[in-house]
Amino acid sequence: MQKNQPVFKRVAVVYNPDKERAREEWARLQRWLKARHVTVTGGPRVTRAMKRAGFIVALGGDGTVLRVARAVVGWNIPVLGVNVGRLGFLAATEVGATYRTLARVLAGQGRVENRSMVSATARVGGKSIGPFFALNECVIRSGAAGRVLTLQAITKNRLFATYRGDGLIISTPTGSTAYNLAASGPIVHPDVDALLLCPICPHSLFQRPLVVPATEVLEIKVEGPNAPAVLSLDGQVNLALPVGSRVDICQATERIPLLLEADRSFYQVLQSKLKWGGS
């Protein structure tokens, strides 16, 4: 192999068309990759042509990474996030360091973490809808503002909790630092094999977040007579759930490989993004 010849010959780029900086960086990135003899496929959304890429660059914020991750479920292609947004917790790098990171990755110096996903299948009026996938979380929330939602949580055909409040978050460890954290749920390392249940504004002094084994299959039933509900995947895909609907939730068999810099650790990201561990 010639010196400086890239390990990856094909790269796909998905950019957020709503962010001007992402559109500008896409044009620069296209030229930069072509100058290094890398074939580039890109656009504002995932296409079938991207299935041939060695990895996919998600150019935007965390929302872009989540959108790309759901679109490529089952492809087994690594996703590398470049943060042009605010937080960028899922990103491998910030936009200012894009080309330094990509140079390392093209040279084979990246690191892949296989992240678990959650799968949700809704049963509405006798019809099965789904499965839907999420990298961060599946949320069942009240569909009417200011109305209490009642949910029953069942596993192994046994009721184990009744939640009354604004809803319930079922998250992956990756999603533990997203909506789950904002709702006072625990931070869980992404290597831990688990699901997290976190009630949203529970109407109780005693309902606390719960961490369960990833092998659990959960059935969440929307109870009456109060409000209907909404099923939301990563805050981007939404489905109305009338009273009486059920949602089957489990860890997905598919995983999403995130491509990261070799020296970027989960604890470093916690410290830099969330100021965790500071005095």
Percent share of the chain, pLDDT over 70? 96
Nearest to 223 by CA among 161, 131, 133: 161
Residue 1 has pLDDT above 80, yes or no: no
> What's the whole-number average pLDDT of the chain?
92
Is 2 exposed, middle or buried (CB count within 10 Å of its CB: 0-12, 13-18, 19+)? Answer: exposed
pLDDT at 6: 64
Residue burial 162-187, b: 16+ Cβ < 10 Å; e: rest? ebbbbbbbbbbbbbbbbbbbebebbe
Is 65 exposed, middle or buried (CB count within 10 Å of its CB: 0-12, 13-18, 19+)? Answer: buried
CA-based diameter of the chain, in Å?
69
pLDDT band at 184 (very low <50, low <70, confident <90, very high): very high
Domains and CATH numbers, the chain: 10-108 (3.40.50.10330), 118-253 (2.60.200.30)
From the CB of residue 4, how many other CB atoms can be counted at a distance below 10 Å?
10
pLDDT tens sequence across 226-245: 678 999 999 999 999 999 99
pLDDT at 249: 98
pLDDT tens sequence across 186-232: 999 999 999 999 999 998 888 899 999 999 999 999 997 667 899 99
Compute the chain's Rg from CA coordinates: 20
pLDDT tens sequence across 12-39: 999 999 999 999 999 999 999 999 999 9
d(CA 86, CA 109): 26
Residue 279 has pLDDT above 60, yes or no: no
Its pTM stands at: 0.92
Catalytic residue list: 62
